[in-house]
Amino acid sequence: MADNELLYGLIGLGAASVVLVLGYNAWQERKHRRTAEKAFRSEHRDVLLEGDAAEPVIPAATTEPVRERIEPAAARIPPAAPIGRAADPELPVDARAIDCVVRIEAPAGIQGGALVSGAGGPLSQINRPITWYGLSEETHRWLPLETDEIKTFTRFAVAMQLADRRGAIAERDYDIFVSQIQRVCDQFLAVPQIAEREETLELAQQVDQFCAALDVQVALNVVAGDHPFAGTKIRGLAEAAGLKLERDGCFHARDDDGNTMFVMSNRDAGLFSSDALKQMASSGLTLSIDVPRVIGGIHVFDRMVIFARHLADALGGRLVDDNRRELGEQSIAMIRGQVQEFQKQMDDSGIPAGSPLALRLFA
């Protein structure tokens, strides 16, 4: 009888401990969600989307220098806090800054690949990046998980990106995400810590606004005079400068790591293709830089200007802005200053242009 009473007492104590741990987890998660929400709330005006919001492109030689400052991303990310049985390490910075994260407790342990596979089908309805992590007991680090992961974990995190260039997640995305995570957790006898709906959707809007405030492209145009540019000559000049024609119908200038620096597209309606270039003629070319996605924007801009001038000379064209106004040295210098200013703002915000976090946000 004494042994039975001791056993029942231990079971009761264990159950109480689990309740306390999960309660503490939920309190911590809600606390940090509110911290992130406050951090992302900004009173800054949108310096890029005021007025005409059709396309966030800096009109060449006409835009005033951007003076608005973006709050550093580091100030927007809540600090790591004790979660579960011990202090968990921090998730990757992008998960903490731009994702909706659900923590999962699985005391009995779950094979990582089995959990990811179990949610894969239903979560495929969400057209947003979703990343799984498992907390390694050996290294005390969060490890990205794939469907082939054979290791067993007791703590997981699943992250859904809140916003990108398409905008913020919709209510439907959130509902599918949490319902499917809950369903899978029920199957594996795991306990998820679901982020609150209204807070998550509001945070998604704030991440979207933050993304929009940094989103800008810069374009130069080389237009023909009396005679259009021959497609064969366009291709010859592009390839001689190291640009390659790609599937999107544009010529790409890439760096040594394979990242696009700038793109040359047809100013007319048609896309470039190997066959079309043999016969086509173009009234103009557009060279553009996707500023948030490019490392070393000033160097890239200078290289693009040199190539644009070379095209104008070789094809007998003119270098102009989007309004077909001539681009002189003063105008070029103004645009260059804009690129420099914007990339400095991204650096100050903790999201350097061309960094993995920037590439996720501006996808």
Residues 6+ apart with CB under 8 A from 228: 281, 282, 283
Q: Which alpha helices (DSSP H) does 64-220 contain, by range?
A: 93-98, 112-123, 171-187, 197-214
Within this chain, do residues 173 and 240 fall inside the same structural domain, yes or no?
A: no
Picking from 192, 213, 234, the residue at the C-terminal end of a domain is 213
Contact 201/33 with Cβ under 8 angstroms?
Answer: no
Closest C-alpha among 32, 100, 36 to residue 71: 36
pLDDT at 87: 64
| Nearest-angstrom CA–CA distance, 285 and 291 | 19
Side-chain half-sphere exposure of 283, counting CA atoms within 13 A: 6
2 in a structural domain: no
Within this chain, do residues 179 and 250 fall inside the same structural domain, yes or no?
A: no
| Global pTM value | 0.71
3 in a structural domain: no
pLDDT at 94: 82
Distance, CA of 185 to chain centre = 28
82 in a structural domain: yes
8 in a structural domain: no
Dihedral of CA atoms 45, 48, 50, 54 in degrees, nearest 10, equals -150
pLDDT in tens, the chain (363 residues): 444 443 344 334 344 443 333 444 444 444 444 444 444 444 333 333 333 433 434 444 333 444 344 454 444 444 444 444 456 789 988 888 899 999 999 999 999 999 999 998 878 889 999 999 999 999 999 999 999 999 999 999 999 999 999 999 999 999 999 999 999 999 999 999 998 999 999 999 999 998 898 899 999 999 999 999 999 999 999 999 999 999 999 999 999 999 999 999 999 999 999 999 999 999 999 999 999 999 999 999 999 999 999 999 999 999 998 888 999 999 999 999 999 999 998 998 888 999 999 999 999
Contact 301/289 with Cβ under 8 angstroms?
Answer: yes
Domain of residue 146 covers: 20-56+72-213
* Amino acid at site 119: A
Residue 148 CB neighbour total at 10 angstroms: 9
| Nearest-angstrom CA–CA distance, 28 and 45 | 32
Within this chain, do residues 177 and 82 fall inside the same structural domain, yes or no?
A: yes
pLDDT at 192: 97
Q: Which alpha helices (DSSP H) does 41-157 contain, by range?
A: 93-98, 112-123
Within this chain, do residues 229 and 346 fall inside the same structural domain, yes or no?
A: yes
Within this chain, do residues 122 and 103 fall inside the same structural domain, yes or no?
A: yes
Within this chain, do residues 145 and 174 fall inside the same structural domain, yes or no?
A: yes
4 in a structural domain: no
Side-chain half-sphere exposure of 264, counting CA atoms within 13 A: 28
Within this chain, do residues 223 and 288 fall inside the same structural domain, yes or no?
A: yes
14 in a structural domain: no
Picking from 155, 182, 213, the residue at the C-terminal end of a domain is 213
pLDDT at 121: 84
pLDDT at 77: 46
65 in a structural domain: no
Contact 72/346 with Cβ under 8 angstroms?
Answer: no
271 in a structural domain: yes
Picking from 167, 192, 213, the residue at the C-terminal end of a domain is 213
CATH of the domain at 338: 3.30.1400.10
Residues forming a β-bridge with 254? 260
**Overall domain count for the chain:** 2
Contact 251/238 with Cβ under 8 angstroms?
Answer: yes
Within this chain, do residues 165 and 296 fall inside the same structural domain, yes or no?
A: no
Closest C-alpha among 19, 34, 27, 28 to residue 191: 19
Within this chain, do residues 128 and 195 fall inside the same structural domain, yes or no?
A: yes
Within this chain, do residues 118 and 241 fall inside the same structural domain, yes or no?
A: no
Within this chain, do residues 115 and 235 fall inside the same structural domain, yes or no?
A: no
Within this chain, do residues 79 and 205 fall inside the same structural domain, yes or no?
A: yes
Instruction: Check residue 235 and give left, alpha or beta (phi > 0: left; psi -120 to 50: alpha).
Output: alpha
